[in-house]
Structure formats: structure tokens, C-alpha cells
Structure 1
């Protein structure tokens, strides 16, 4: 490629968008395919009308803006690829979707019988979005909820032990759509995903006690469950199974095996063994990894362990 060709290619690369640019793009997407609504100053609803399955995702403008130019969150492309209708409720800042215009928008969709137009409705979100997915699921009885690291509430009178989002305690979690474990009463199925070693997440998940709730455990993923499952290629498969109505504990167990090939997970479990001073367990991890893949760092660590005075069997 000549210098001239390089210059042309550079001019064709998508330029980074500022806040106004992203909002303009989202508005265009919605108006071209279904609808766009500004919900106050810090929330937007983008709707793509397609097939009889509706997936509702709770996204953050900051996360969208952090993506490579020309790309959108995985759920947008997945919905288009699979022919799902998609409603994205987008927030800016740590609002926890508690702003009155958001609640009013959900109420309006209920009044218009919007959710009745679809054969299956799936609410999906992670963290703050998982709270919203569970809390607003009451608007669509019979829906499925897939919530990654859900919070039950941040009302300090109920969850005072969770000190990770102190500023959010100023928000009202007692008003309508407030306490997520109560709002799932009308759901057909609820699936949560969390790392049981993350104490605060485990305590929130324990508050979702209905018989139709299934808890999936993602050990050692810490506070990066959605990101890590996405990097493994597991998260889109879970979303698809939820939309297909085939998600079960067995489905998750099979998909969770992908962790055995995920470098970050393998490094995390090795670090956990090292922190616990368990050299034999360290060696077992290293042998398992080096027997299945090329992993020079694990092989080097295993050789170091085998040279120690402790018997490593």
C-alpha cells in the first residue's frame, strides 16, 4: 500500500464520537427501526422492531462511548442477527434507572399493552442494569429475566452492608419498581449469575428466593462477571438460550466449561491457590493447564514448584 493509499484508508476510519454524536447516532438508529425517546436528561430508549421475541437490555452511555468507533454493544448486533425485537434503555451516570421519566416510560408501555405484542419477553442487564432488569420485569408478566450480578436494592435500611455505591443511597428505592426481589413475582423464570466468593453480590442474590429463580455461579470472576463471560463467548449464548426458552442449569454448566480455556480465569484460580499457600493445589492447576494448552507461564511456575523442598504430588 502506497503512502497515498494509507492516507485514504485513514480518512475512511470512523472518527470517535462525542456525547452529542453518540446520542445523534442512537436517535437515528431508533427512528429508522422502531422508535427513540429521550427520558429526561440522562436516559434514552432505543427500540428496534423486528420479530416476536423482545429482549430488553439496560445499557450505559459511558460503556457505549468507550467502544471502538463504529461498534455497538454485543446485544444490539445479536438482536439484529437473530431477528429479535430489541428495546435498549440507556442511562448516563449511576442513576440506577430510578429517575421518574424512566418509571413513567415503563408505565406508558404497560398502558399501551406494548409487551403483549410479543411471544416472549426477556429482560437482561448486568450490575446496575441487572437491578433494573429484575425491578422492571413486573411490567411484563411471564417474562424471563437474566441478571448478571443483580442488586436487590440499595436502600440502606435493607442493604446497609453493601458499601460499594454509597452515593446511590440518596436515590429512592422504596417507590414503585423499587425492591427487585418483589418485582419478579410475575416472571416465568429468573436467572442470576454471580461469583459466590464476592460476599456482597452473594448477599444480594440470596434475597431472590422465589421457586422459579435459578442461581448460576461464576467462581473467581469477581466484579467482572459479564465482561469475562463475554470474553469467553458464553454470555451471548446465555442470552440466546434465554430468548429461545432453553436456558437451564444444565445449559449453563456446559457453557461454564469454557472457563478452562480462559486465561484470566486460570490466572485467578492460580493466584487464589498461591494466596492460600496451597502449593499442591497450585501444581494441580498448572498441570491441568499445561496438559491442555501452550502456557509458558504456568509451565515455568510448575517447574519452580517441583524444585521446592515441599513434596508436590
Structure 2
């Protein structure tokens, strides 16, 4: 499609994308989708529906300074004048600009995802963007009453449980009494990523606002989003353990093994095991494929932590963790108890064979078959027995087991959480 740069200064690059529709979409970039060549925010989706587009792309993290926008408006007026229907669209910094410059660009509809009111640290408590505030270009940068109008249609999408974005919403709300609001709980600041959909973007641009219809469409899109469950589980897991099981039961998931980061994946797998629901099917749904599987049945746990759970090696996360004896028995194919031989290298029995448990300075464990040479970066763990307790050490560090069943190595070898006991 035909593109041309129609304005540019130190802060913004403005690109006109010619389409065949009667509507002009003014698409504002954000911190991530800044000016890069001739790219436009949400370009693929906008091209799909043949929209005419003015893409206002930030070149710096400067929140569309008003001086730049005023100069731009004068220069692009011939392009704006061709269209009676103008829709503003953007998220975060782009959502802020879509609202703030709605009068300036005479936009009839504005769709703003998680917008800011200002980044001035004297005005808002949110400090995520305070480092980008520049008093020389951001005087009175908050959205002003004379920059918006109740005759325009404003649609704001945000997570009401995310405090930083809620602060901005509550400051914007008195300025826009006629606005429509779509709540997207447990998505944090990623609402735009969760709802990335060509069809939904087209709905926002073209369809009259109907709250029932849009909530139905939002539910459909978010359940297909690779971002959604990550945010939901992260928010719910600490308080609502059954939420994970409910999501797995109700959805035909098969996530990529890189979908969750290592920390999140470990917590999810651990919670499944504690609920005794660590089935192969559930692990596959989470993209948490086991590295090894124990085929020879349950082994008797021998090493107790200070929390009266038993120390095991998790064959899915490849981490040392602790569980109750009944959980270990129920998930024995994935949880290997430590042998706990006094003053010896830590070893594990897996399917009749014995392996040394080793680790490197990045905390990565490996199982090394007895008799096999160690990799140069790996060192064995040592099980030490003292008069009143035991411990596991790696070089000068000692294993510490917390109340959540997770473990890490620390320098203090007399901490209560480092004490282990042979049963």
C-alpha cells in the first residue's frame, strides 16, 4: 500500500497510509512501537480492512509533546480534511495522546487502552515513566478539559485491579463523563497485547458501542490470547489455588514450552503437584514437559526440612523443592526424594540407576550418571551431617528451603531454613 511521511521533527514521525475506506484511523505508537522506518502501530490489522491511516509514531520516549503536535496539525491538515470520520487508536503513551489530542485532530471516536493522564511525578504517584518527564517540553502535559469534548465518543480499556493504571483512569474520568469503559481484569498494563485482534480493532472502529456485544467479543479474543492466561494465573495463583485447575479443565490448551518463564512455570507445576493433579495431560497443556520420568514407583522420602516437608528433586522443573509425603507418593513419577547419605555427594536413584546431582554458578542442575565425568562448569552437591541437623551445600553456599516449598542457595549456613533432618 502507498505510504508517505507527511510530517517529521525530533519527537514524532507521521506517516500517511492510503486505503480505500471512508474512515481515517489515527494510530498512535507507544514506548515499544516507536518510529522505525515506515512502520505504523497496528499496521497489519489496519491494512487488512483497507483503512486510510495517519500513523503518529514517537521517535523518543517523550509522550507526544504539544509543540510537536501543534506543528504537525497545521502541516497535515490537507490529509485530515479529506475525511469526516476520524477514529483515534492507541495504548499507554499512545492512548494518552489519542485522548489529549482528540479535539486538535477533530476525532469523532477515540479508543484508548491503559492511557496515562500525565507522567509528571508532581501530579501522579505512578513512577513507571517519571524518568522520561522533561520539564522543558512537558509543561501542563496532563490532559486538559479544553482538549476533550463530551460530544466525542471515548472508549477506555484498562485493568481496574492494576493500581498504577487505575490512578490514571480516575484522573481522566472526570474529564470524560460520556466515556465507555471496558474492564479487563488481571491483565496489568498488557491490555492491548491481550486484545490484539484485527477483527476486534475493526469492531472498535466501525461498530456503535454496545456494552454486551463488546464484552462478548473481548471474552472471545482474550481466551485466544497467549498473554491472557499468563497474567491471570500470575495474579490468581497466590490466592486461588483452584483457578489453575479450573483453567486447565475448561480449556483445550497446549502451550509452547517457552510460554511461561522458568520461575512462573515452576510455581504452576508445583501447585499442580500439591493438588495431586500433575498428570501428563495437565503438564502438556502448560508446556511443562518432564525431562525424566520415574517408572519404578514411589521411593520413601528421607530428608525432612524445617517445615516438616521432604526434600525432592523435581524432574519437570529440575529444581530442589519440598513436599509432604502424600504428595510425593501421588506424584512419584516426577518427584525424586534425596537419598541423604551422611557426609557424601548428593545422589538420586532414577529407574534403578544412580546419578550425582550437580549444579553450576547459574543455578542450573544436571544429573550425571555415576562413573561419568563432570562437565567443567558443574560441581556436585554435598550432603553434610552435623550433631543436630544436616544441610546440602554447593561450594560455599547452603541450600535454604522456604515455607512455600521452594529452595535457593545462600551464604548463611546457620539459617533455620537451611537445617535438614534425616528420617
Q: TM-score, normalised by structure 1?
A: 0.71
- Aligned residue number for residue 242 of structure 1: 204
**Alpha carbons of structure 1 residues 47 and 71: separation in structure 2 relative to 1, 3 Å:** closer
SS in 1 for 2:90: strand
* Aligned match for 1:207, one of 148, 151, 171: 171
Does the aligned pair in 2 maintain the 1:191–1:216 contact within 8 Å? yes
Unaligned ranges ≥5, structure 1: 1-28
Alignment of 1:96-107 (within 5 A): 96-98=63-65, 100-107=67-74
Higher percent of residues as strand? 2
- Aligned residue number for residue 37 of structure 1: 6
* Aligned match for 1:286, one of 233, 238, 245: 245
- Aligned residue number for residue 46 of structure 2: 79
Q: What is the deviation of 1:155?
A: 3.2
- Aligned residue number for residue 333 of structure 2: none
- Aligned residue number for residue 15 of structure 1: none
Alignment of 1:68-147 (within 5 A): 75-98=42-65, 100-109=67-76, 114-141=79-106, 143-147=108-112
**Alpha carbons of structure 1 residues 291 and 144: separation in structure 2 relative to 1, 3 Å:** closer
SS in 2 for 1:137: coil
| Structure with the larger RCO, 1 or 2 (CA within 8 Å, 6+ apart) | 1
Q: Hey, what's the Cα distance between the residues in 1 that align with 2:30 and 2:118?
A: 19
Q: What is the deviation of 1:95?
A: 1.3
**Alpha carbons of structure 1 residues 166 and 243: separation in structure 2 relative to 1, 3 Å:** same
SS in 2 for 1:208: helix
2:24 is aligned with 1:58: no
Q: Hey, what's the Cα distance between the residues in 1 that align with 2:31 and 2:16?
A: 15
**Alpha carbons of structure 1 residues 170 and 72: separation in structure 2 relative to 1, 3 Å:** closer
> 1:183-232 CA distances to partner (integer Å, 9 max, x unpaired)?
221552101111112212111111223232112111111122212222xx
SS in 2 for 1:238: helix
* Aligned match for 2:130, one of 166, 171, 179: 166
Q: How many residues end up aligned between the 2 structures?
A: 264
Higher percent of residues as helix? 1
SS in 2 for 1:123: strand
> 1:241-292 CA distances to partner (integer Å, 9 max, x unpaired)?
232133432233112223334454334333333323xxxx322441342243
> 1:138-195 CA distances to partner (integer Å, 9 max, x unpaired)?
1244510011110112234432x121112333244445x7525652215521011111
Does the aligned pair in 2 maintain the 1:55–1:86 contact within 8 Å? yes
Does the aligned pair in 1 maintain the 2:95–2:116 contact within 8 Å? yes
Q: Hey, what's the Cα distance between the residues in 2 that align with 1:263 and 1:87?
A: 29
Q: What is the deviation of 1:73?
A: 5.2
Unaligned ranges ≥5, structure 2: 256-264, 278-323, 328-423
Does the aligned pair in 2 maintain the 1:122–1:242 contact within 8 Å? no
- Aligned residue number for residue 6 of structure 1: none
Q: Hey, what's the Cα distance between the residues in 2 that align with 1:184 and 1:206?
A: 16
SS in 1 for 2:101: helix
Q: Hey, what's the Cα distance between the residues in 2 that align with 1:63 and 1:142?
A: 22
Alignment of 1:261-272 (within 5 A): 261-272=224-235
- Aligned residue number for residue 255 of structure 1: 217
Does the aligned pair in 2 maintain the 1:61–1:92 contact within 8 Å? no
Q: Hey, what's the Cα distance between the residues in 2 that align with 1:154 and 1:130?
A: 13
SS in 2 for 1:154: coil
**Alpha carbons of structure 1 residues 123 and 167: separation in structure 2 relative to 1, 3 Å:** same
Q: Hey, what's the Cα distance between the residues in 2 that align with 1:265 and 1:228?
A: 6
SS in 2 for 1:89: strand
Q: Hey, what's the Cα distance between the residues in 1 that align with 2:48 and 2:119?
A: 36
CA RMSD of aligned residues (A): 3.3
SS in 2 for 1:207: helix
SS in 1 for 2:164: helix
Q: Hey, what's the Cα distance between the residues in 2 that align with 1:300 and 1:57?
A: 43
